[in-house]
Structure 1
Amino acid sequence: MSRSDERRDAPYVPGETALLLVDMQRIWLEPGLDHGHPERGPDHYFYRETATRTIPNQVRLLKAAREAGVEVIHTIIQSLTEDGRDRSLDHKLSPINIPKSAPEGLPVPELAPVGDEILLPKTSSGVFNSTNLDYLLRNLGIRYLVVVGIVTDQCVDMAVRDGADRGFMVTCVADACAAPTPERHDNALKAFGGYCWITNTDEVVKRFEAMKRATVAA
């Protein structure tokens, strides 16, 4: 990496860029499945926001990433055991337990992994803390990590901060993330903005498309 590219919005490099989708699971995104929040009806802000903006933007990003040869990694909250005894203390206290046998724990169909895309189960808010993501990214030669998902001020926040601390150049695509309220979403972006480049779906799609053209031309 040259000195001129040592900035948070530095151009992505083919073969060194990954798209990370955080917790885009049916249990959180389909009304009626999350028993931890019975107060959220189908018209709740979070469901409307994810259905009309977050998921469609991620679909666009996925398409562009796959066509450009960008590494795609999915992470979901999922226990390794049915009773969740392997969970973090925080998830036991919450309580959050999504066993492997639960179909609602899988990504929503439009964002499901394809081919040999990596799906990482995690049992904490921070994907770097309860998975081997750091090890995988380094094995894959990844330098640029594009983060999208839910919830902006929880699991997305931790992915961004931890990724930056581990030396990755992190991008957060603001309009491909969501939180239960717009205030929580906006406050999170302000809080962790110093750890990443915050941009939008249109900009990242353009970058992925440019990477695809450059690869074809080569």
Structure 2
Amino acid sequence: MENQQTLYYEFAPTEEGKMTIDPAKTALLVVDMQHQFISRDGLDAKLARERGMFDKWEYFFDRIDDIVVPNNKKLLDFFRSHQLEVTFGRITCHHKDGRDRSAVQRRPGWNNILLPIGDPGAEMVEELKPLDDEIVVNKTTDSVLSGTNYEFLLRNMGIETVVCTGVVTDQCVASTVRSLADAGFEVILVEDACAAATKQLHDAEIMIMNQIYCQVMSTEETIQLIAEQLEQDILV
């Protein structure tokens, strides 16, 4: 895909086509692909309809249904078929009144998220349901790393590269990508497996994060990169 970048990196040599990874040290991370946020019959969609705002969210739900869920499914199928690490991060709180949530998860407005563990809205959508042996991290923050043991789990498994997908691009996904980069992991952000409320927000965040925090790639490019390395490993 086109390697978009900000003014900060126009002078820097492009890394496109040069990235190498070890599939055995790579994990897929699916962020917040939960019923409440991305289902047309979820709570967020219901509230948008009640407030007469659903037309403003049509782009988001169309992208989720037509692009993001199918591409996440492609990535899950690929990782699972090659016995590669699959992980999930989801927004949930331990107390039913949400008093254990971080401040960012209780601010008035769209971010005021109350999803106790066990709430149906907290579950990943059926198409992307985790398997029994796959790691699911519960977070009360935007970043999957902050306030969880996710980083320790990655270190324990020897993971060096994280392939990140999910919603929303400019909030939880961006926070997670930045945290991973700051912790020293290589990050691939799969652009067409993510979504924000608007195309403008999505495109802006993708451009901001590209090169410094992650390498932005498409689903097909990500699969091809890993598949080529797997083939080389077999030949060796």
TM-score, normalised on structure 2? 0.83
The correspondence of residues 72-83 of structure 1 with structure 2, limited to 5 A, is 72-83=86-97
Q: Find 1:11's aligned residue among 20, 34, 48.
A: 20
| Conserved 8 A contact 2:23-2:226 | no
Q: Find 1:171's aligned residue among 174, 178, 188.
A: 188
Structure 2 counterpart of 1:198:
216
Please give the alpha-carbon distance, in whole angstroms, between the structure 2 residues aligned to 1:206 and 1:96: 37
CA distances 1:123-165 after superposition (whole Å, capped 9, x unpaired)? 1111111211111110110001110000000011011111011
Within the alignment, does 1:107 sit opposite 2:105 as a pair? no
| Conserved 8 A contact 2:164-2:187 | yes
- Sequence identity, in percent? 35
Please give the alpha-carbon distance, in whole angstroms, between the structure 1 residues aligned to 2:130 and 2:228: 23
Q: Find 1:70's aligned residue among 70, 79, 84.
A: 84
Gaps of 5+ in 1: 1-6
CA apart distance, 1:32 = 3.9
Please give the alpha-carbon distance, in whole angstroms, between the structure 1 residues aligned to 2:232 and 2:218: 22
Comparing 36-45 with 61-70, greater Cα deviation is found at 36-45
AA aligned opposite 2:228: A
CA 1:215/1:82 → structure 2, altered by over 3 Å: closer, same or farther? farther
Please give the alpha-carbon distance, in whole angstroms, between the structure 1 residues aligned to 2:118 and 2:96: 7
Structure 2 counterpart of 1:160:
177
Structure 2 counterpart of 1:208:
226
Moved over 6 A (4+): none
CA 1:121/1:177 → structure 2, altered by over 3 Å: closer, same or farther? same
CA apart distance, 1:43 = 7.0
AA aligned opposite 2:35: R
Please give the alpha-carbon distance, in whole angstroms, between the structure 1 residues aligned to 2:232 and 2:137: 30
State the Cα RMSD in Å: 2.0
